[in-house]
């Protein structure tokens, strides 16, 4: 399995949303990290064949994306609502049918997935009445119905509580063994530990695709900690990117991203992916 995205551009009128995106995917989880409006959903919709790219190509095993590709795709959109008259089961039956599963296969798969996403007892309820988290889980189940080779998830963890978030991550981890998963998010911890590669996207451009550790390594020497007086915090924030602030007695311990020592008493810390993310999106241009 190989999905090649080469120089994909997309504009809406004069607005360039994607400015030449290229990367390759094979098996494993790929985290698509980027702030609001970066173009994540736009890119994902192009990958799912829902909107045409203005230029560039998406090739699946060397071929243009067609019905065969769609048959191997699972997709969870960012905003998903349900039909007012459907139960959870009817909804999954409907999607299973669209995905070309036979009724027998569908019934088996629905039972299995309902179990996995913990909705077995709610399958006969109308899904518009589900809680936000349940709706997300139903959405994930829907995406997995056809055992997709390529699974695309647009902010799948939005609205999930921490426990459900972890459960979701586990499902995806197991699932991604021999499949490709593209997971868009602006929540770093969603992809932090599980993603094989991280793709950072900003203003319609992606940086180099690397694993999280590489990003973190490049942050070595750029993450600092120091204590400052609370009344200095606002002023300090204007000129520095602060990734964390914790009150400590009369002072505040802050975690700062900076190419150079931000404060005479600042000491270096071990970077994490969130630091890299903030550095990438908030530091580079604004502070450099």
In the complex, the residues that contact Mg ion under the rule CB under 5 A are: 40-41, 78
- Distances in whole angstroms, Cα of residue 217 to Cα of each of 194, 261, 275: 17, 18, 11
Per-residue binding letters, 23-52, with ligand ATP (x by CB under 6 A)? -----------x-xxxxxxx----------
Nearer to another protein, 13 or 247 (CB): 13
Work out how close the CB of 71 gets to Mg ion at its nearest, in angstroms, rounded to a whole number. Answer: 25
Task: Indicate which single residue of 13, 15, 36, 52 sits in contact with another protein (rule: CB under 8 A).
Answer: 52
Give 124 or 231: the residue with its C-beta nearer to another protein.
Answer: 124
Q: Do 186 and 170 form a contact (C-beta atoms < 8 A)?
A: no
| CA gap 232, 256 in Å, rounded | 14
Indicate the residue among 50 and 166 with the shorter CB distance to another protein: 50
**Which of 2, 7, 12, 120 is in the footprint of ligand ATP by CB under 6 A?**
12
Q: At what angle do helices 103-116 and 132-144 cross, to 10 degrees?
A: 140
* Pick 67 or 177: Cβ nearer another protein: 67
Footprint on residues 100-119 left by another protein (CB under 8 A)? 100, 103, 106
Q: What is the 3-state secondary structure (H, E, C) of 99-160?
A: CCCCHHHHHHHHHHHHHHCCCHHHCCCEHHHCCHHHHHHHHHHHHHCCCCCEEEEECCCCCC
The binder of another protein chosen from 27, 54, 90, 147 (CB under 8 A): 90
Largest alpha-carbon pair distance within the chain?
Answer: 69
Pairing of strands 28-33, 197-202: parallel
Q: Give the footprint of ligand ATP on this chain (CB under 6 A).
A: 12, 15, 17, 34, 36-42, 78, 186
């Amino acid at each position: 399995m190989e999905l090649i995205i080469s120089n994909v551009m997309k504009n809406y009128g004069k607005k360039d949303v994607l400015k030449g995106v290229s990367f390759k995917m094979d098996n494993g989880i790929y985290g698509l990290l980027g702030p609001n409006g970066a173009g994540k959903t736009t890119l994902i919709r192009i990958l799912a064949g829902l909107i045409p790219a203005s230029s560039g190509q998406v090739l699946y095993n060397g071929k243009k994306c067609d019905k065969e590709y769609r048959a191997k795709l699972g997709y969870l959109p960012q905003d998903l609502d349900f039909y007012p008259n459907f139960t959870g089961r009817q909804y999954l039956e409907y999607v299973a049918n669209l995905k070309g599963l036979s009724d027998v296969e569908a019934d088996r798969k629905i039972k299995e997935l309902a179990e996995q996403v913990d909705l077995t007892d709610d399958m006969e309820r109308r899904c518009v009445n589900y809680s936000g988290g349940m709706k997300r889980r139903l959405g994930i189940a829907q995406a997995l119905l056809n055992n997709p080779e390529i699974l695309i998830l647009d902010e799948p963890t939005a609205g999930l509580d921490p426990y459900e978030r972890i459960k979701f991550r586990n499902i995806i981890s197991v699932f991604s063994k021999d499949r490709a998963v593209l997971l868009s998010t602006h929540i770093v911890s969603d992809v932090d530990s599980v993603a094989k590669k991280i793709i950072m996207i900003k203003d319609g451009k992606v940086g180099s695709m690397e694993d999280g550790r590489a990003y973190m390594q490049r942050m070595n020497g750029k993450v600092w900690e120091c204590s400052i007086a609370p009344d200095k915090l606002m002023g300090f924030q204007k000129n520095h990117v602060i990734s964390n602030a914790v009150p400590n007695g009369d002072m505040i311990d802050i975690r700062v991203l900076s190419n150079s020592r931000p404060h005479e008493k600042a000491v270096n810390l071990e970077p994490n992916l969130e630091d890299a993310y903030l550095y990438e999106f908030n530091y580079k241009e604004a502070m450099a």
